[in-house]
Structure 1
Amino acid sequence: MDFKLVSSYKPQGDQASAIQALTRGIFDREQHQVLLGVTGSGKTFTMAKVIEALNRPALVMAHNKTLAAQLYHEFKSFFPHNAVEYFVSYYDYYQPEAYVPAADLYIEKESTINDELDKLRLSATRSLFERRDALIVASVSCIYGLGSPEAYYGMMLFLEKGQKIKREDITRKLVDILYERTNGDFRRGTFRVRGDVIEVFPTYDDMAYRIELWGDQVEALSQIDPLFGTVKQKYARLPIYPKTHYVMKEETRASAVDSIKKELAWWEVELEKQGRLVEAQRIHQRTMFDLEMIKAMGFCHGIENYSRHFTGRLPGEPPPTLLDYFPRDYLMFIDESHQTVPQLHGMHAGDRSRKEVLVEYGFRLPSALDNRPLTFAEFEHRTNQLVYVSATPGPYELTKSAGVVIEQIIRPTGLIDPPVEIRPVKGQIDDLLHEIRERVAKGERVLVTTLTKRMAEDLAEYYAEVGVKCRYMHSEIETLERVKILRDLRKGEFDVLIGINLLREGLDLPEVSLVAILDADKEGFLRSAGSLIQTIGRCARHLNGRAILYADRMTDSMKRAIDETSRRRAIQTAYNEEHGITPESIVRPLDMTLAAIVAADYADLTASESEGMPEFKSQEEVDAYIAKLESDMREAAKRFEFEKAAKLRDTIKE
């Protein structure tokens, strides 16, 4: 099926020339292109038109889950009949394994997997196997190791109507690809057998499959509603993919166990030669326990650290990732590239430094170092043709494109870049309070950027005391909670959002009419020309958008940012006058379905749960209380109330 863009929009302003230039560049086999698009100029629509014109599988990469979720919704609305998928880390909570030698403190890996995000990841790889019209919106987690596409596809169960196959062979194969047989709770990743009917609930779909047999022959294949059992559609043939990306044949598992034993024997000798007997004993005990678990259960805690052995890779060889699931001719768009590219650069080094300590002190074998994200060079090797999209492209992108930039400066709505005003630092808090009250009276929103987390928190506390509804947001706020904070800002639950550098790229907040940048004259990463342009652009979607920079002197970065903003204002103003356009604010519906996945994550504990620990008269009462807490914790996790589940877990530990 071809990509078919559904939209009432038509390319306007310089969108048409940008679409044409990008498409021509890809047809001319340009490896690297840069799209410099200002906030509100319709960059997502431009990307969608290019994808439609070229009709190839595409990967759109963003630097965080929040931006990826926003892009996913936009592309989903543009391509309702095509396979638009979402691929981000499936962890709601993740504490990586680590060791702190100075304190002799070992921190075990702890994580909570979001079942819905896991389903979306599996759905993404299925679409890549089955369709050419696949568009995957991913975060940078797509360069982390994933199961081998050859092993995953090779373990697939493929059924056809009229096929000769025994019921026992089907159930055995389902168990081999890690599905669990059940007679009760029919959920994702399980199957049930009723006479000659087998029903399978795949992990990558909301619907289940029914396989009807007549003797040893497949009589019918259908998709069913898992709750009511009603048939949705019939199939002539049906592929059933493994339950997870990490699946392997029995012989692969056996050879991996032998390979791990050989590495263990070698590493023990190496540690003993260095006189590190405690570390040698530790790695022996831990690895042998893991091997027993793998032989008995097929997996162990932290099995990903042995991934090199399971995939048969050589030491140092890159792991398979989502990029390996794409065909050779795929397109890649890197959104907000000035942020995403540096992230891709740094991920491997950060991961390796943590694991080297674990290996050195006998917590992991050296092969654990190969359970890693791709290096930047490996990432580059796996790309085909790239388009870097940003309002402020970085030096890497400009170098790769030989300085050639395709500009998209004109906004179809006629909105002009916000005017920038510089005010003195003295009295900035009270001056800003006056501006905030003016905006709030009109039902508008305000963004404020500070230089430190402490200042963001103190400022939020001060403004709250004087009656301003405000929240703060910085890197310690969990990624998924940010989706909810931004949604609440748009809904009007509060009026002012205070942050550091999280308010910059790609956040679609049309209700914001004022951006205030405190201490704008403090040179550094957070006050570079690019950062200032991005931050100022957050209010460019509002007709009354305005930016105030509090500074006592004009820095080079401020001058470059103001000059670039003025240049863009002049281009847009001239276009508006030539075409008789009256600027109007962007109206964006509050449609953030993915936010619903985590909406329940922030439920408060009930009064009874937060009152503290009850008094116990016997050990039996303690055991009964812990059992109840464990049951409540599991139920909370099922309902995606992970904050509540975490608090219950901490209570159990106490």
Structure 2
Amino acid sequence: MLKNVAVELLALPALDVLFEGLGRNTRSQLVYGFDDSARSMLMASIQLKTGRPILIVASDPVRAGKIYEDMLSIFGEEHVNLFPARELYYYYDLLSESSDASAQRITTMQRMAEGTGSVTITTVAGLMTKMTPPKRWLEASFELVTGQELEIGCLLKNLMRAGYERAEMVEMQGQASMRGGIVDLFPMGQVLPYRIEFFGDTVESIRRFDLETQRSKDKVERLKVFPAKEVPIWEEERLLAVRELEKELKLLDSQLKNRGHSDPVMRLREKLAEHLEKIREEVYFSGIEQYLLYFYPQTASLPDYCSDDGVIFLDDPLRCEQVAEQTGNELKEAQSALLAQGELLSRQAELVWDYKELISLSKKPLVSFSLFSHNMPLHPYRRTISLSAKPVPRFLGQWDLFGEEVGHWRNLGYRTIILTSTRERSTGITDILAERGITAGYALAKPELLPRTVALLHGGLESGFVVPEIKLAVLTEQEILPQRKKRRRLKGKEGVRIGDYQELQVGDYVVHEQHGIGQYLGLRTLEVGKIHRDYLFIQYAGNDKLFIPVEQIEVVRKYIGAEGKKPKLYALGGNEWSRIKARVQASVQELAKELLALYAARETEHGRSFSPDHDFQQDFEAAFPFEETPDQLQAVREIKEDMEKSRPMDRLLCGDVGYGKTEVALRAAFKAIMDGAQAAFLVPTTVLAQQHYRTFLERFEGFPVTVGVLSRFQSGSEQKATLQGLREGSVDLVVGTHRLLSQDVRFKDLGVLVIDEEQRFGVRHKERIKMIKHNVDVLTMTATPVPRTLHMSLAGVRDMSVIETPPENRYPIQTYVMEFSDGLIREAILREVNRGGQVYFVHNRVQSIDKWAKHLNTLLPEVKIGVAHGQMAEDRLEDVMVDFLQGEYDVLLSTTIVEAGLDIPNVNTIIIHDADKFGLSQLYQLRGRVGRSNRIAYCYLTYQKNKVLTEIAEKRLQAIKEFTELGSGFKIALRDLEIRGAGNILGPEQHGFMMTVGFDLYVKLLDDAVRTYKEGTQESKPEPRVEINVDAFLPATYISDTRQKIVFYQKVAAVENLDHVTEAREELSDRFGPLPPPAENLLNVAHVKLLAGELGVLSLSEEKNELQIRFGPQVSAISEILLALSKKYRGRLTVGTGKYFLLAFRRQGMDGRDKLMFLLELFSELKGLAKEKNSRL
């Protein structure tokens, strides 16, 4: 609908000159006088009028992002492309990098090459990128169509050439996997992956499937597949690159021969030899783009991907030229150093176009947009068009002023357009204007924008504007509301919940409920009595071995403890495990009893009951500058419900750093303050107190709330004034360290106490907190995530709100895993500092941190560097941290102390030295220190050059490679953090027990204990023992990946009804193709076991030539039913009585499948007869 607003700008007479020039393909024109969203709208109107595709070049990613957001609002996603620049130059030796930006570049290359999308936005650095020629790019793309004749091997070969990575299971873009006649594929630029099923050499079906469940969703007729890498490599290019790189290798060999041993040249030679071998073997690797000019001597630029009638728009050309010059200088400096050291091949220094040359030689017409008129020697303007747009006043909730201005525009004959994000907000603004005598209408269809009208439209722009010449005013929520809601940002990953990480891998430690902790060594298919089954092979202490049939897999759990620590293995047959398990059991029973007693006591206490929300509450919540996540809103609801009850609140708020806990707590504090009470925030460090204080002052601006702070950074007189304000009630909210717990701190009426990270306070402070807590509503926040299983176990015992969804569409953190180099460090730090940001440099050895400070000062003399580590005096450490917070230092060189709770939005680059020595959960938390603002953040995980890594470090680096995605490394990191979070909630003693028996078994024991105390002892129904001689397993020819086999065995073991069996059958068929007989038997055994359990069967076994079914003693009225059955199966069925009812059936001539079919028929018949007779079988 915003296209209609853009069309209104075409009424500007001066634009006729521009369109005449474009009609003649005039080389260069300037349009000045429009800025921000007015300029975006003008660019859109030109595109709509001409119908020609436009390539918009912005100076930097922030400006490009704003234009992109505006264009999305005007045209919609299907018409707008974004081409982000490569943030790191190709020549650094990348092990791994985030794929977000690369995926977006690839998608844009494809869409532009195909002529899709009217508008493309890039940056100066994006424009300067050398690229694969568009013709070769399109030739590397192909289409799959249902019914197409195609060999499955040919498809796989094409995918590998196009840069797709072969995986056992598709989990991310750019991966492909094959199982029998099925190929799973996640094409770049697609939202969902696809499943291609073959019948012989014919594509039988193409289905989209869900990444989490791996189940098919819907069918499509055709699928366009384009390359997964920016440099697709066909045979011709590969052979050319091999020849050229072999020449480079010979050149390096001769240099080494002439110069003697040279470390840099030797390193370059080793790297080139390794990469050359991979190229020979047709293996893609991270950083292959550095050899672009060896594959494609004739490269292209982004304008080459634009169709012939395309137009280039330069947004602020003077700024673009300035940025291009700065980028070029940075590039030359880095290249010169690397070339001088012999660490760069000559063609690797030519991977970027010269901006001036690219612009001056461009054959496409250029239109430049700026606020003021100027001259441009690089591309002299043939025509200059002057326009005028003014910014809209910022009303920010001043409704009288807003109504007055809108009324003034109406009286002048203006068309006033107000853009809102929701229908409800439009209704609110309409009512506000109506109260002031102004009629405004919500336009559902194409709005008729007549003079003197006020129209509300659904949509948003970065900013509003006024164009007096055509009497048009456009307003956005940013100008109207008390504080603007931030709109959708650059598209990143959606918020993802990470589920339980239970995949078993060879070498993992496992816990068997009876036998204790052992090591899983894989699945074994064993033949016992001519019957094939799969068994889990587990090794215990003293080389003891245990083979567990997969149907008993539910008694085995993956051992989850502290990352990097090996648990103790137990010997089979000993009683040590039984003693330890009994001790843990007794402890959790005591804990459950204690928690339930505390909960019951709190239910009877009487405290303050807060009133329902005040009008100010809605205004305060509407002023939050971000969109809330569903979890945040749920937490707010739960807390408000607690506050409105008469019993005191004691709620735990869990969620990762940056997930919005503080905002939730502030809403609780504001609710209390609006009811005449005071609120206090207790934090563990002075730095956090200062941070929170600054945040709170900003957040409560414009609201009747007085904020105070108590910490050692306040002078004596300042503290005295705050204390007096608390006593008298003039200070509504105070934030402080343990200073808040001092005896001289007295409140007039404390209503809510918020405690941040209670586990970080000492014993004495905790005792004081207990005293203050009495009859006060308490909200305790913790930044370590809590496992969902524990949360569920404690439901009804501990009030807990969990925020587990991260904010959606946050800028993704660009993560790089690479060899350490001074050039990289200098470039990364200067890039951040030059954009006004700050950097964390994490070096985790106190002994050598001063040496590194000297090294960094030598490397970066123009940068101010602060040093912080845990062995410094506490006062000195806090001084350094606060100085860094206030911008006194550009770089903070520190140990891992930065992982604990610091939140400095201006720090958007973190460099982690020797990343291979850190645990994954540490890396996860450290990386979370950046990416907290509206800027793209960078995380560099570095390791030493040519370092011979230990096996453990190599595995960790392999996991870190996956860390740039939501792969297994990410899940392990989260799981380790969750266990820490559980320890924080339940205390150090219980954390020790978790480590002893493994987290999952601990949670099961706790769950059982809580349930027993709440519901009383429940008599458990024994599971039937089913031992039938039949091949029932998943053959390796059907599912080759043992990890996926394990997952399916777990699913089959956990079935609770026939629907679950049917779902498992459908999933196997969907993902792996038609079920072979042993897999079909596996599911039928599970079905038999289900029916046997419902009928009260104790065991089902084979003795000689008989199938024997034993019923439990609770089975009654059996005789009539058995009599009916014995008539049907005359001569084959015998009935035994005694302690148990026994059915014995002679099974001559039956194979395994026949036996299962007979049992299913028999049990179904038994169920029917029992139902008929109303017997309780």
TM-score computed with the length of structure 2 as normaliser = 0.35
> CA 1:635 to 1:149, structure 2 compared with 1: closer, same or farther past 3 Å?
farther
Residue 433 of structure 1 corresponds to none
> CA 1:412 to 1:233, structure 2 compared with 1: closer, same or farther past 3 Å?
farther
Equivalent position to 1:214, from 193, 199, 222: 199
Residue 175 of structure 1 corresponds to 160
Runs of 4+ aligned structure 1 residues displaced above 6 Å come to 270-279, 439-443, 539-543, 579-585, 598-614, 625-628, 636-645, 647-653
Q: Is 2:259 aligned against 1:263?
A: no
- For 2:3, what is the secondary structure of its paired residue? coil
List aligned pairs for 1:137-176, cutoff 5 A: 137-142=121-126, 143-176=128-161
Residue 521 of structure 1 corresponds to none
CA contact (8 A) 1:388 1:397 kept: no
> CA 1:343 to 1:230, structure 2 compared with 1: closer, same or farther past 3 Å?
same
Residue 234 of structure 1 corresponds to 220
> CA 1:441 to 1:133, structure 2 compared with 1: closer, same or farther past 3 Å?
closer
- For 2:85, what is the secondary structure of its paired residue? coil
Residue 134 of structure 1 corresponds to 118
CA contact (8 A) 2:85 2:125 kept: yes
List aligned pairs for 1:42-81, cutoff 5 A: 42-80=38-76
1:332-359: CA deviations, max 9, x gaps?
1111222013333554454234213322
- Determine the C-alpha separation between the residues in 1 that align with 2:73 and 2:397: 34
Q: Is 2:357 aligned against 1:372?
A: no
- For 1:212, what is the secondary structure of its paired residue? strand
Residue 517 of structure 1 corresponds to none
User: Which letter maps to 1:17?
Assistant: P
User: Which letter maps to 1:407?
Assistant: S
- Determine the C-alpha separation between the residues in 2 that align with 1:580 and 1:136: 27
Equivalent position to 1:121, from 84, 105, 122: 105
- For 1:138, what is the secondary structure of its paired residue? strand
Deviation at 1:441, TM superposition (A): 12
User: Which letter maps to 2:121?
Assistant: V
Equivalent position to 1:320, from 276, 282, 300: 300
CA contact (8 A) 1:333 1:388 kept: yes
Q: How many residues align?
A: 471
Residue 239 of structure 2 corresponds to 254
Residue 337 of structure 1 corresponds to 317
Q: Is 2:487 aligned against 1:591?
A: yes
Deviation at 1:227, TM superposition (A): 3.9
Deviation at 1:290, TM superposition (A): 3.5
- Determine the C-alpha separation between the residues in 2 that align with 1:8 and 1:580: 9
- Determine the C-alpha separation between the residues in 1 that align with 2:263 and 2:940: 35
- For 2:12, what is the secondary structure of its paired residue? helix
Deviation at 1:241, TM superposition (A): 0.7
- Determine the C-alpha separation between the residues in 2 that align with 1:310 and 1:626: 33
CA contact (8 A) 1:34 1:398 kept: no
Unaligned runs of 5+ in 1: 98-107, 314-318, 419-438, 444-538, 544-570, 615-624
Deviation at 1:409, TM superposition (A): 0.7
> CA 1:406 to 1:602, structure 2 compared with 1: closer, same or farther past 3 Å?
farther
Equivalent position to 2:277, from 285, 288, 292: 292
Deviation at 1:238, TM superposition (A): 2.7
TM-score computed with the length of structure 1 as normaliser = 0.60
- Determine the C-alpha separation between the residues in 1 that align with 2:387 and 2:330: 35
Residue 526 of structure 1 corresponds to none
User: Which letter maps to 1:80?
Assistant: G
1:507-558: CA deviations, max 9, x gaps?
xxxxxxxxxxxxxxxxxxxxxxxxxxxxxxxx99699xxxxxxxxxxxxxxx
CA contact (8 A) 1:637 1:645 kept: no
1:546-590: CA deviations, max 9, x gaps?
xxxxxxxxxxxxxxxxxxxxxxxxx95xx69xx699999955763
- Determine the C-alpha separation between the residues in 1 that align with 2:165 and 2:262: 42
Residue 565 of structure 1 corresponds to none
Q: Is 2:26 aligned against 1:30?
A: yes
Deviation at 1:367, TM superposition (A): 2.0
List aligned pairs for 1:449-468, cutoff 5 A: none
Deviation at 1:208, TM superposition (A): 2.0
1:414-462: CA deviations, max 9, x gaps?
x6xx9xxxxxxxxxxxxxxxxxxxx99989xxxxxxxxxxxxxxxxxxx
> CA 1:254 to 1:300, structure 2 compared with 1: closer, same or farther past 3 Å?
same
- Determine the C-alpha separation between the residues in 1 that align with 2:657 and 2:302: 28
Deviation at 1:253, TM superposition (A): 2.1
Residue 491 of structure 1 corresponds to none
Deviation at 1:67, TM superposition (A): 0.9
Deviation at 1:137, TM superposition (A): 1.0
- Determine the C-alpha separation between the residues in 2 that align with 1:583 and 1:309: 52
- Determine the C-alpha separation between the residues in 2 that align with 1:216 and 1:388: 54
Residue 499 of structure 1 corresponds to none
- Determine the C-alpha separation between the residues in 2 that align with 1:42 and 1:190: 42
Deviation at 1:113, TM superposition (A): 3.7
Q: Is 2:628 aligned against 1:631?
A: no
Rg larger in 1 or in 2? Answer: 2
Equivalent position to 2:82, from 80, 86, 91: 86
List aligned pairs for 1:90-105, cutoff 5 A: 91=87, 94=88
> CA 1:254 to 1:392, structure 2 compared with 1: closer, same or farther past 3 Å?
same
- For 1:69, what is the secondary structure of its paired residue? helix
- Determine the C-alpha separation between the residues in 2 that align with 1:375 and 1:601: 41
Residue 184 of structure 2 corresponds to 199
List aligned pairs for 1:352-431, cutoff 5 A: 352-396=332-376, 400-402=380-382, 404-411=383-390
- Determine the C-alpha separation between the residues in 1 that align with 2:83 and 2:191: 17
> CA 1:633 to 1:241, structure 2 compared with 1: closer, same or farther past 3 Å?
farther
- Determine the C-alpha separation between the residues in 2 that align with 1:638 and 1:125: 30
User: Which letter maps to 2:110?
Assistant: R
> CA 1:42 to 1:180, structure 2 compared with 1: closer, same or farther past 3 Å?
same
Give the stretch that moved more between structures: 599-608 or 355-364. Answer: 599-608
Residue 308 of structure 1 corresponds to 293
- Determine the C-alpha separation between the residues in 2 that align with 1:308 and 1:164: 36
- Determine the C-alpha separation between the residues in 2 that align with 1:43 and 1:253: 45
- Determine the C-alpha separation between the residues in 2 that align with 1:127 and 1:583: 33
User: Which letter maps to 1:54?
Assistant: T
Residue 879 of structure 2 corresponds to none
CA contact (8 A) 1:598 1:640 kept: no
Deviation at 1:126, TM superposition (A): 1.8
User: Which letter maps to 1:340?
Assistant: C
- Determine the C-alpha separation between the residues in 2 that align with 1:645 and 1:629: 18
User: Which letter maps to 2:69?
Assistant: H
Equivalent position to 2:8, from 11, 14, 20: 11
User: Which letter maps to 2:104?
Assistant: L
User: Which letter maps to 1:234?
Assistant: V
List aligned pairs for 1:495-644, cutoff 5 A: 586-587=479-480, 590-594=486-490, 629-632=918-921
Residue 479 of structure 1 corresponds to none
CA contact (8 A) 2:249 2:269 kept: yes
CA contact (8 A) 2:184 2:193 kept: yes
User: Which letter maps to 1:6?
Assistant: K
User: Which letter maps to 2:3?
Assistant: V
1:75-99: CA deviations, max 9, x gaps?
11111274201111254xx4886xx
1:375-429: CA deviations, max 9, x gaps?
4213432340111011024421796214x3211214496x6xx9xxxxxxxxxxx
User: Which letter maps to 1:366?
Assistant: S
User: Which letter maps to 1:71?
Assistant: I
1:126-177: CA deviations, max 9, x gaps?
2113334431111112221233323322222322332211222222222222
CA contact (8 A) 2:67 2:121 kept: yes
- Determine the C-alpha separation between the residues in 1 that align with 2:337 and 2:143: 44
- For 2:188, what is the secondary structure of its paired residue? coil
- Determine the C-alpha separation between the residues in 2 that align with 1:221 and 1:278: 53
- Determine the C-alpha separation between the residues in 1 that align with 2:379 and 2:200: 65
> CA 1:397 to 1:80, structure 2 compared with 1: closer, same or farther past 3 Å?
farther
> CA 1:16 to 1:232, structure 2 compared with 1: closer, same or farther past 3 Å?
farther
CA contact (8 A) 1:196 1:212 kept: yes
- Please report the RMSD computed on the Cα atoms of aligned residues, expressed in angstroms: 4.7
